[in-house]
Amino acid sequence: MKFKIAILGTGNVAWHLGPALEDAGHTITEVFGRDIEKANNLTKRLYVAEAKDDLDFSDSEAHIFIISVSDQAISEIADEIILPEDSILVHTSGSVGMDILGYSSASYTGIFYPLQTFSKDRRLDFADVPFLLESDDQTTLQNLKKLAKSLSQHQYVIRSKDRKALHVAAVFASNFSNHMLRLSEEIMGRQGIDFEMLKPLIIETISKSLELGAKKAQTGPAIRSDFNILDDHYQFLNYNEQVAEIYKLISQDIIDSY
């Protein structure tokens, strides 16, 4: 089953989701962006989509409207958008509940959340991306399942409270891990050492954690309670009190956990 879809947003998720939906055989009819230039940039990646900077979609041929913007902007778009009859309005957020769409003009609402990290300058294969779906209407839920199945092998029906737990866990696994890598880059750079030296360690750490489980894969001075090394590292990091405190807090949490 192929759908006509409007994308509401021009950020990282929309940048990848629009072309992927078209590659799966669906039609993107419109792209909305407060900044019309950004909307135009996304439509250039699509076939026939029209760029819009207003939220009057009353004459749209789309059946599914996907809000793909920052969490703070979802309610404003949901409240302002004018939709045709029998339309489905969904958002792609991991941490915002479905009830935020409750005052919209949509006939049906739902969640269409791809559990992945997105960057515009990196290609992404949706085939292995889990899609977390939700709707109180069974027909809408079935349509969202069909839409997700056209992109990915993995679809899950998850209620809002459970999706929030997943999103928090994802922040630890993805965003926080990436920030740790950035701090590592800065520490290496400060000493004039090539960060490439750490890449085999990073790859092995992630692979081992996924294979054995994170608890079994844990190593390092904290799990050994090697307080001499921990104190030495802490003193070394005193050039940046905030980073030193991060090191101390995480090390203490590892000690407490084991």
Give the chain's domains with CATH numbers.
4-158 (3.40.50.720), 163-257 (1.10.1040.20)
* CA 35 – CA 41 distance, rounded (Å): 10
pLDDT in tens, 192-242: 999 999 999 999 999 999 999 999 999 999 999 999 999 999 999 999 999
Quote the pLDDT of residue 1. 87
Q: Tell me the two tokens of residue 26.
A: 């669906």
Q: pLDDT grade, residue 139 (50/70/90)?
A: very high
Cα–Cα distances (Å) from 100 to 9, 111, 115, in that order, read 17, 11, 20
Q: Tell me the two tokens of residue 64.
A: 């599914």
Question: Parallel, antiparallel, or unpaired: how do β-strands 131-134 and 108-114 relate?
Answer: antiparallel
pLDDT in tens, 152-202: 999 999 998 899 999 999 999 999 999 999 999 999 999 999 999 999 999
Residue 71 above 90 pLDDT? yes
Quote the pLDDT of residue 117. 94
Quote the pLDDT of residue 76. 96
Residue 213, judged by CB atoms within 10 A of its CB (0-12, 13-18, 19+), counts as exposed
pLDDT in tens, 76-104: 999 999 999 999 999 999 999 999 999 99
